[in-house]
Amino acid sequence: QAGRYRQFFQLGVEAIGSDDPAIDAESILLMIDYFRSVGLKELTLYINSMGCENDRPKYVELLKQYAIAHEQELCKDCRKRVELNPLRLFDCKEESCRRVMEHAPKITDYLDEDCKNHFNAVRRYLDMQGVQYIIKPELVRGLDYYTKTTFEVVSPLLGAQNAIGGGGRYNKLVEEFGGPPTPGIGFAIGLERLTIAVEKEGAFVAMEEKTDAFIAVADKAVKEPAVNLLYALRGAGIATDIDYTGRSLKGQLKYANKKGFRYTIFLGPQELETGIVQVKDMKTSEQYAIKLNELVDWLSNIVKSQTMGSGVTKQS
């Protein structure tokens, strides 16, 4: 079958140690940005929440009862799945099963408060960046260890096997293997399908590694504005990162210096109130006071001038 292989290669990305919904959105946007960077434009993003151990058992039981009531309409394989794992019914390609599952209970209607808030926060971060997506309650991603966020990107150019990347959160996976509580999220991109999609769209753009700016968040109350700034800077071509692990301000500066970020942007309640942020040049130790609404253009011009080998003019 075209696009489906017995052996294949994939590119994987994992973010371990944080349950912050901002990093779910970060992972999704990273995958989307990667696809765009190699020339793909015709993409559809699907997202869902798989809930957690607090709400999923109730939903699975409701789904099971629904499937039993429609058992005669299901294929032979799906009748076996009803008892073993009713969530797998959503994966079936048989038309009769697809018709039944179109009207099945939706997991997004049964999320507990924590999972609902988490999913809404992920959506809010995506909305802030103008990312178009479709909520697909039947998106279960084929692996039982997923919790909360799942996502998938498909290309309409690839026919039936059209998923070119996808992933989700797996907060309990490490514990299932005897380890400590370790939340995580990740995704994989199928390189063979990606290559086919790139060939069909006829574009490829070379990439280079950059570490331009780091946003040091002084107070968690400004996390959402900080994430919004993160993507505004990235949208201007400035390689920018932010902390997702709850480091202190001192720890964030140490991290930024270790990773080689040229500029650190300090953002806290005072900066939001005054509309002025402090930007430190980590190479020269010089510090600049820049209006927040001018920061993207200012830093973009500096990064471009450095790329061309010219100097930086100090501003105040």
3 pLDDT band (50/70/90 cuts)?
Answer: low
Q: What is the per-residue pLDDT for 157?
A: 84
The set of residues, in sequence order, having a beta carbon less than 8 Å from that of 167 and lying 6+ positions away, is 13, 27, 31, 141, 150, 151, 185, 186, 187, 188
If one compares 184 and 314, the residue with the highest pLDDT of the two is: 184
For the stretch 18-65, pLDDT in tens is 999 999 999 999 999 999 988 898 899 999 999 998 998 999 999 999
Range ranked top by mean pLDDT from 76-80, 85-89, 93-97, 226-230: 226-230
83 pLDDT band (50/70/90 cuts)?
Answer: confident
Residue 294 among known ligand-binding residues: no
Q: What is the per-residue pLDDT for 310?
A: 41
Q: Is the dihedral of CA 293, 294, 295, 297 positive or negative?
A: positive
**What pairs with residue 169 in β-bridges?**
147, 185
Q: What is the per-residue pLDDT for 309?
A: 55
83, 276, 291 from 271: Cα distances, Å:
56, 5, 9
Q: Please determine, for residue 208, whether its predicted confidence score (pLDDT) is greater than 90.
A: no
8 A C-beta contact, residue 105 and residue 63: yes
Q: Please determine, for residue 111, whether its predicted confidence score (pLDDT) is greater than 50.
A: yes
6-20 average pLDDT score:
91
288: helix, strand or coil: strand
* Mean of pLDDT over the chain: 90
Indicate the residue type of 131. V
Q: What is the per-residue pLDDT for 2?
A: 54
Q: What is the per-residue pLDDT for 314?
A: 38
198, 228, 273 from 26: Cα distances, Å:
23, 11, 26
Sheet holding 134-135, edge to edge: 10-16, 184-190, 163-169, 147-154, 44-49, 134-135
Q: Which residue has the tokens 């080689």?
A: 260
Range ranked top by mean pLDDT from 6-10, 154-158, 262-266: 262-266
93 pLDDT band (50/70/90 cuts)?
Answer: confident
The set of residues, in sequence order, having a beta carbon less than 8 Å from that of 309 and lying 6+ positions away, is none
8 A C-beta contact, residue 134 and residue 46: yes
In angstroms, the CA 32 to CA 39 distance is: 11
Q: Class for domain 213-307, per CATH?
A: alpha beta
For the stretch 297-314, pLDDT in tens is 999 999 988 766 543 333
Residue 6 among known ligand-binding residues: no
Start-to-end C-alpha separation, the chain: 62
The set of residues, in sequence order, having a beta carbon less than 8 Å from that of 268 and lying 6+ positions away, is 217, 218, 219, 222
Q: Provide the token pair at 197.
A: 């999609």
Indicate the residue type of 104. A
Q: What is the per-residue pLDDT for 241?
A: 96
Q: What is the per-residue pLDDT for 39?
A: 87
71-94 average pLDDT score:
89
Q: What is the per-residue pLDDT for 311?
A: 38
Q: Where are the domains of the chain?
A: 10-54+111-201, 56-109, 213-307
In angstroms, the CA 151 to CA 47 distance is: 4
Does this model's pTM top 0.85?
no
8 A C-beta contact, residue 201 and residue 38: no
Name the H helices within the chain: 21-37, 56-69, 76-84, 95-102, 113-128, 173-176, 191-201, 223-235, 249-259, 269-274, 295-307
Residue 145 among known ligand-binding residues: yes
Q: What is the per-residue pLDDT for 312?
A: 39
Q: What is the maximum span of the chain, computed from C-alpha positions, in angstroms?
A: 75
Between 104-108, 152-156, 203-207, the lowest mean confidence (pLDDT) is in: 203-207
Q: What percent of the chain has pLDDT over 90?
A: 73
In angstroms, the CA 95 to CA 132 distance is: 28
* CATH architecture for residues 10-54+111-201: 2-Layer Sandwich (3.30)
237-260 average pLDDT score:
94
Residue 141 among known ligand-binding residues: yes
Residue 10 among known ligand-binding residues: yes
8 A C-beta contact, residue 233 and residue 296: yes
